[in-house]
């Protein structure tokens, strides 16, 4: 399958991921694709309508600060700075970003994720992996392979409503091909093999049950594929670099491996054609059906209370429990980090 690497991500203006004047999404990342695969209605409420929840911003902010801090440390170390000095610089930058961050500590999210716990887990992580056996891959230009944004085109694009999936094979030139985008936290060399490393912060125990969720997994398969394409190197899979935020016990860190073969990547791309075709069909018909077998997954869908109501009153429940985001605030796979 031919895949083209799109232009480097330097553009200032963020494009809409949807074809102009439609709800047909042409630019996808693991988040939006995961929403679609989980439940088209969940995808509609989040990506199309832009309903968001207050608590989400706490988790999102915590994740962003965690990734930024570890990136700061990696950049400092790559430039030859010693461990202690690199931690000091990392904490200084982190402090400047979060000193006025005041999430509601009476909420579960804010109790575990705030300026105090973020600096704590960053320091603990960096001390824990002071002699990290996973070495950051160094790019050809000398930069460490951390926080790499990727974007590549697929050899087909949205064609609804005029063509069937079989007709998509006829070589039609696409005015706008599909794009896949995302961010790789880190690419590492571990035991003479290359892996994408994906960092996760969690409130859950880092058990075998936690790590089993990553295979099969939409995000990790996409990241393996993206790593292979962007680095043009054999990537074995993804190392899940998980951190558990704890308040009374020491923060916990565990790593798990998830592997992907070339055949698995090909299968994922074949499946993707069907998923994106479905997404087009939903958009053209302006209807995204419920997957009512997914409502109890991952601790229960945040829209479960809404979807359990009669259709006529759902809008009221959405307005009562969620904030409707402006277009510029909605999740956008084309927005660079």
Partner 1 sequence: MTTDILDALAKPPPPPSELDELMSRDPLDLAKDPTAIDKIIAYQRQVRAQREAAPKGRGKRTDLIEHDNAKPIDLAALGLVKPATAPKPATPTGGGFRRL
The contact set with partner 1 (CB under 8 A) reads 53-55, 87-88, 91-92, 95-96, 98-100, 104-111, 114-116, 119-120, 123-124, 127, 246-251, 321
In this complex, which beta carbon is closest to partner 1, that of residue 164 or of residue 205? Answer: 205
In this complex, which beta carbon is closest to partner 1, that of residue 54 or of residue 273? Answer: 54
Residue reference for tokens 């006829």: 170
Output the smallest distance, CB 44 to partner 1, in A. Answer: 21
Output the smallest distance, CB 71 to partner 1, in A. Answer: 18
In this complex, which beta carbon is closest to partner 1, that of residue 50 or of residue 120? Answer: 120
In this complex, which beta carbon is closest to partner 1, that of residue 87 or of residue 160? Answer: 87
What HEC string does the chain produce? CCCEECCCCCCCCCCCCECCCCCCECEECHHHHHHHHHCHHHHHHHHHCCEECHHHHHHHHHHHHHHHHHHHHHHHHHCCCCHHHHHHHHHHHHHHHHCCCCCCCCCHHHHHCCHHHHHHHHHHHHHHCCCCCCEECECCCCCECEEEEEEEECCCCCCCCCCCCHHHHHCCCCCCCCEEEEEEEEEEEECCEEEEEEEEEECCCCCHHHHHCCCCCHHHHHHHHHHHHHHCCCEEEEEEEEEECCCCCCCEEEEEEEECCHHHHHHHHHHHHHHHHHHHHHHHHCCCCCCCCCCCHHHCCCCHHHHCCCHHHHHHHHHHHCEECCHHHCCCCCCCC
In this complex, which beta carbon is closest to partner 1, that of residue 33 or of residue 94? Answer: 94
Output the smallest distance, CB 62 to partner 1, in A. Answer: 14
Output the smallest distance, CB 106 to partner 1, in A. Answer: 6
Output the smallest distance, CB 174 to partner 1, in A. Answer: 42
In this complex, which beta carbon is closest to partner 1, that of residue 87 or of residue 235? Answer: 87
Output the smallest distance, CB 88 to partner 1, in A. Answer: 5
In this complex, which beta carbon is closest to partner 1, that of residue 49 or of residue 55? Answer: 55
Output the smallest distance, CB 331 to partner 1, in A. Answer: 19
């Amino acid at each position: 399958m031919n895949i083209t690497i799109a232009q480097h991500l330097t553009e200032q203006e963020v494009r809409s991921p949807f074809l102009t004047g439609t709800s047909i999404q042409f630019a996808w990342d693991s988040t939006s694709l995961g929403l679609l695969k989980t439940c088209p209605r969940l995808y509609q409420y989040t990506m199309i309508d832009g309903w968001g929840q207050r608590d989400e911003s706490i988790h999102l902010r915590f994740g962003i600060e965690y990734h930024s801090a570890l990136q700061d440390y990696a950049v400092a170390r790559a430039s030859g700075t010693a461990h202690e000095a690199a931690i000091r610089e990392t904490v200084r930058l982190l402090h400047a970003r979060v000193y006025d961050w005041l999430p509601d500590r009476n909420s579960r999210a804010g109790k575990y994720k705030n300026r105090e716990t973020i600096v704590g887990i960053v320091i603990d992580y960096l001390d824990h992996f002071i002699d990290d056996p996973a070495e950051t891959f160094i790019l050809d230009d000398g930069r460490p392979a951390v926080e790499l944004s990727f974007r590549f085109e697929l050899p087909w694009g949205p064609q609804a409503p005029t063509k069937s999936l079989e007709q998509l094979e006829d070589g039609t030139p696409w005015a706008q091909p599909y794009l896949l985008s995302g961010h790789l936290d880190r690419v590492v060399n571990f035991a003479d093999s290359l892996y994408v490393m994906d960092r996760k912060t969690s409130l859950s125990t880092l058990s075998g049950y936690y790590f089993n969720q990553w295979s099969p997994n939409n995000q990790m398969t996409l990241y393996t594929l993206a790593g292979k394409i962007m680095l043009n190197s054999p990537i074995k899979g993804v190392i899940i670099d998980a951190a558990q935020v704890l308040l009374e016990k020491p923060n916990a860190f565990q790593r798990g491996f998830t592997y992907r073969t070339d055949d698995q990547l090909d299968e994922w791309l074949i499946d993707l054609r069907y998923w994106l075709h479905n997404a087009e069909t939903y958009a053209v018909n302006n209807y995204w059906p419920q997957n009512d077998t997914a409502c109890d997954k991952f601790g229960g869908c945040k829209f479960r209370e809404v979807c359990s109501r009669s259709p006529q009153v759902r809008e009221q429940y959405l307005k009562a429990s969620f904030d409707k985001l402006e277009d510029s605030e909605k999740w956008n796979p084309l927005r660079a980090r």
